[in-house]
Structure 1
Amino acid sequence: MKFLDWYLKIAAVSALIGASMEMFMIKTGFYDKVTVLESEKRAWENSPEAQAVREALNPWRHLDPEETKKS
């Protein structure tokens, strides 16, 4: 327990920095912007266009499922 005061100082400074970063994100509206971006991303991922892109980019789409079960 030789360096307990040093560890406490580091923990206090780290907590202060973390709290200030959170306050900055709240004050600038960061969380509101992220919420909108995430909802737009989820809406696009569930769209038919996104499904078509996923199927087109899947290199194993032509493999027969029965063939893979036998292997």
Structure 2
Amino acid sequence: MKFLDWYVKIAVGSAMIGASMEFFMIKTGFYDKVTVLESEKRAWENSPEAQAAREALNPWRHIDAKENKDQ
């Protein structure tokens, strides 16, 4: 344990940087914004428009599923 003090300094410095990043995200409202964006994303993914877009991007999906079921 020749360099124990060096490892302790690195660990303390890393913890301080991580804590300051978390503090910054809490103070700026980052988590609230992410929560809103995620809920909007989930709502859109479950909408008929999103289902139509998925179907338009892969129109042969049902054909592939039917072929796999027959095998």
**CA RMSD, Structure 1 to Structure 2 (Å):** 1.6
Tell me whether 1:25 sits opposite 2:37 in the alignment: no
Q: Alignment length, in residue pairs? A: 70
> Alpha-carbon deviation of 1:58?
1.5
Distance (whole Å) between structure 1 residues aligned to residue 25 and residue 32 of structure 2? 10
Structure 2: segments with no counterpart, 5+ residues: none
* Higher fraction of helix: 2
Distance (whole Å) between structure 1 residues aligned to residue 60 and residue 4 of structure 2? 57
Distance (whole Å) between structure 2 residues aligned to residue 27 and residue 64 of structure 1? 50
Structure 1: segments with no counterpart, 5+ residues: none
Distance (whole Å) between structure 1 residues aligned to residue 30 and residue 66 of structure 2? 49
Which residue of 2 is the match for residue 4 of structure 1? 4
TM normalised by structure 1 equals 0.86
Which residue of 2 is the match for residue 67 of structure 1? 67
Distance (whole Å) between structure 2 residues aligned to residue 46 and residue 27 of structure 1? 32
Distance (whole Å) between structure 2 residues aligned to residue 59 and residue 3 of structure 1? 62
TM normalised by structure 2 equals 0.86
